[in-house]
Amino acid sequence: MGVPNFPPRLDTDLCKPFYEGLAAGELRITACPECGTFYWYPPEVLPCHPESHAVWKPLSGEGTIYSFTTVERSLLPGADPASVPHTILLVEPAEAPQTRIISLLVGDAEPVCGMRVKLSPIAAGEHVLPGFVPA
User: Could you list the residues that contact Zn ion (CB under 5 A)?
Assistant: 32, 34-35, 37, 48-49
Residues whose CB is less than 8 angstroms from the CB of residue 47 and which lie 6 or more positions away in sequence, other chains included: none
Q: Which of 75, 71, 63, 76 is nearest to 88 (CA)?
A: 71
How far apart are CB 95 and Zn ion at their closest, in Å? 16
- Cα dihedral sign for 59, 89, 10, 82? positive
Judge contact between 30 and 57, C-beta under 8 A: yes
How far apart are CB 108 and Zn ion at their closest, in Å? 41
Q: In this complex, which beta carbon is closest to Zn ion, that of residue 57 or of residue 86?
A: 57
Q: In this complex, which beta carbon is closest to Zn ion, that of residue 34 or of residue 80?
A: 34
Q: In this complex, which beta carbon is closest to Zn ion, that of residue 32 or of residue 105?
A: 32
How far apart are CB 128 and Zn ion at their closest, in Å? 29
